[in-house]
Amino acid sequence: MGRPPRAPKKVYKKKAAEENKEGDNKAAKAKAVLTRGRFLKGKHKVWTTATFRRPKTLAQSRTPKYLRHSTLKAGTINKYSTIEYPLVGESASKLMEDQNTLVFIVNLKATKPDIKRTFKERFNVDIRKVNTLIRPDGKKKAFITLKGEQAAVELGSKIGII
Amino acid sequence: MVKASVLRKKNEEQLNKDLEEFRKNLAELKFNKASASQQMKVSKLRTVRKDIARVLTVLNTMKKDEAREKYAKAKYQPLDLRAKKTRKIRRSMTKHQRRATTLKERKRAENFPQRTFAVMQ
């Protein structure tokens, strides 16, 4: 473009060699080795990025000499603990008839897929969807919509919700 | 109502089955209470809950006893199987450590014991 053309690399290297004068370099090197020892020139690692990241070192897994807890206690979470009891009332019965939905109070820690699974296991019905909310009194309410016409009313009368 | 003495004669599998049964029972009772369609004995709820607690107690104590047997001769015992006492006592010196003396002390004690003298009247 606007720059003058550069000389090829060969020329530059030759120039450098001439300037450094091989003889002097060797003497200097020998002197350095004698005064400071053999392992002068460390392998210089090439940094390709601007940031320094902690290098990955050996990570060993634990091999404890003793257990901290000798036994696993029989847990309180079981297939009957997710769904606690059904809600009965005007709004609940309305949902049952119109939306094919049943309303339950559910364990606070239960998730929608959990609820779906336990419900299916317990009552053998197909579920379309589960909606949840947490009431102001701290309990979780689940709206379980069933598949199939009138399935909610059937199941409701079987459970005893009417 | 189950008795704990009866439960202790059962093995783990049977106890788990009982537990399952009681839990199912409890769940049904809770449903009945909520639906209030029939008159129900609310006292039943309490008895079933306590039954579940009894089964769990027996189960856990069984497991703990098994663990104790298993680790009785181990060099390092699991923490919950070691003596509880108090934190301070656990960290203090053992009787053996307190009584320990150097060879030099022992030799001195043996060769130069504390003498008692009495003035003869």
Tokens standing for A106? 């559910």
Q: Are residues A83 and A34 in the same domain?
A: no
Ramachandran area for residue A148 (φ above 0: left; ψ -120 to 50: alpha; else beta): left
Sorted by sequence, the CB contacts under 8 Å of residue B81 that are 6+ apart come out as A70, B67, B68, B71
pLDDT digits (tens, 9 = 90+) for A24-61: 678 777 776 677 666 656 677 888 899 999 999 999 99
pLDDT at A107 over 70: yes
Domain contains A104? yes
Q: How confident is the model at residue A11 (pLDDT cuts 50, 70, 90)?
A: low
Q: Are residues A31 and A83 in the same domain?
A: no
Q: Which residue of A has its CA nearest to B59?
A: A74
Higher pLDDT, A79 or B70: B70
How many interchain CB pairs under 8 A, A with B? 67
Domain contains A46? no
End-to-end Cα distance, chain A: 90
pLDDT at A56: 93
Domain contains A123? yes
Stretch B93-118: mean pLDDT: 96
Stretch A1-17: mean pLDDT: 60
pLDDT at A9 over 80: no
Domain contains A67? no
- The HSE-up count of residue B80 (CA atoms within 13 Å, CB side) is 12
pLDDT digits (tens, 9 = 90+) for B2-46: 999 999 999 999 999 999 999 999 999 999 898 876 678 889 999
* A interface test, pick of B14, B16, B33, B35 with most A CB neighbours within 10 Å: B35
Domain contains A70? no
* Closest CB to B78 among A70, A80, A87: A70
Q: Which domain covers residue A109, as residue numbers?
A: 79-159
- Shortest Cα distance from B114 to chain A (angstroms)? 47
Q: Are residues A137 and A86 in the same domain?
A: yes
Domain contains A126? yes
Residue B37 with chain A: CB contacts under 8 Å: 160-162
CB A106 within 8 A of CB A117: no
Q: Whole-number mean pLDDT of chain B? A: 93
pTM: 0.72
Stretch A99-113: mean pLDDT: 96
Q: Are residues A102 and A155 in the same domain?
A: yes
- Shortest Cα distance from B12 to chain A (angstroms)? 11
Higher pLDDT, B88 or A18: B88
pLDDT at B17: 94
Higher pLDDT, A43 or A113: A113
B38 to A160: CB separation less than 8 angstroms, yes or no: yes
Stretch A110-126: mean pLDDT: 95
CA distances from A131 to A12, A89, A104, A135, A156 (A): 76, 18, 11, 13, 18
Q: What is the CATH number of the domain that holds A144?
A: 3.30.70.330
Cβ–Cβ contacts within 10 Å for residue B81, how many? 19
Q: Are residues A85 and A151 in the same domain?
A: yes
Sorted by sequence, the CB contacts under 8 Å of residue A70 that are 6+ apart come out as B64, B67, B68, B71, B78, B79, B80, B81
Structural domains of chain A, count: 2
